[in-house]
Amino acid sequence: MRLRIGFIGLGTMGEPIANNLRRAGHELAVWNRTPARADHLVSRGAKRAATPRECASGRDAVFTCVSDERALDAVLDGPDGVLAGLREGDVLVDLTTAGVTSARAVAARADARGARFVACPVLGSKTAAEQAQVVLVAGGPGPARERLRPALHAISARLFELDDPAQAALMKLCVNAVGGAMMTAFGEAVALASAGGVEPSRLVEVLQASAFHSPLYLMKGELVQKKDWAPRFRIALAEKDQRLAQEAAAELGAQVPVSEAVRELMAAATEAGRGDQDVAALADLYLEWTRRR
């Protein structure tokens, strides 16, 4: 079924995901804070909306995909915001990793307008987004998920569904708590191996033969080899995910000391001016520390 979709936030993940919705035949209106980032989609037939409100008005579904919960509030609120454009029965779906508190609050604000909210955080890389191979965890009311399903299948390899937006948000934070620990442990191991004269490529080879193998080490190991720190997933966003996991843990009474250590390392990287580099650059931060010794 062809849906009329509004899409807000055309960054690393949002742009290719919106493009896949367009390629699947859905009618697309787009808005991005920096208008030039919408040019590619507009040149391929998407309608450029003047405001988030206009982007949300008269659509079957409105997608948001921005940096964090504050950016989400910035596009939702105010006279030109998404919420002002929603009508009774509309569906708002948020792809942002915005955390549990945000999921609950946005669901309540959408509900107050008679609209339905689905928190739908994304698992996967920029490449997965381009190839419509991301994994989605959609949490929200059944009828809203049903309406969205054709669009969600068009952008993903797998779709998990839950009834509660806050649980979908929590699921994403839990997965990224594991991912953050893996990425920092990998950076640490690369620097330790290098300090002893072991090439990172050999480390990846052996790691991949072990029970701890992961596509993450292949992907990021290649970037480490090439010293390619162009952002696929920015360190600043990865740090935000650990912050959100800690906030959720504090509310739920869970202990997350590993996430705390990971966040500290990511904060150190951001402080060293690496916030806009890819998470693969965490390995380079460790290498820099080793070189300075």
Ligand X SMILES: NC(=O)c1ccc[n+]([C@@H]2O[C@H](COP(=O)([O-])OP(=O)(O)OC[C@H]3O[C@@H](n4cnc5c(N)ncnc54)[C@H](OP(=O)(O)O)[C@@H]3O)[C@@H](O)[C@H]2O)c1
Q: How far apart are CA 2 and CA 20, in angstroms?
A: 13
Q: How far is the CB of 220 from ligand X (least distance, A)?
A: 11
Q: What is the DSSP string of 155-212?
A: HEEEEEEES-HHHHHHHHHHHHHHHHHHHHHHHHHHHHHHHTT--HHHHHHHHHHSTT
- Point out which residues pair with 28 in neighbouring strands: 5
Residue 86 or 134 having the CB closest to ligand X: 134
- Point out which residues pair with 159 in neighbouring strands: 136
Residue 68 or 194 having the CB closest to ligand X: 68
Q: How far apart are CA 18 and CA 6, in angstroms?
A: 9
Q: How far apart are CA 32 and CA 105, in angstroms?
A: 23
Could you tell me if 200 and 261 are in contact, meaning their C-beta atoms sit under 8 angstroms apart? no
Q: How far is the CB of 182 from ligand X (least distance, A)?
A: 14
Residue 19 or 194 having the CB closest to ligand X: 19
Residue 155 or 203 having the CB closest to ligand X: 155
Could you tell me if 276 and 236 are in contact, meaning their C-beta atoms sit under 8 angstroms apart? yes
Q: How far is the CB of 202 from ligand X (least distance, A)?
A: 27
**By the criterion CB under 6 A, which residues form the site for ligand X?**
9-14, 32-34, 37, 65-68, 71, 74-75, 96-97, 122, 124-126, 232-234, 237, 241
Handedness of CA 279, 202, 133, 170 (dihedral sign): negative
Q: How far is the CB of 203 from ligand X (least distance, A)?
A: 23
Classified as helix, coil or strand, 48 is strand
Q: How far is the CB of 194 from ligand X (least distance, A)?
A: 25
Report the residue closest to ligand X, judged by CB: 11
Look up residue 106 and give its two tokens: 């946005």
Catalytic residues: 172
**CB 290: neighbour CB atoms within 10 A?**
12
Residue 63 or 286 having the CB closest to ligand X: 63
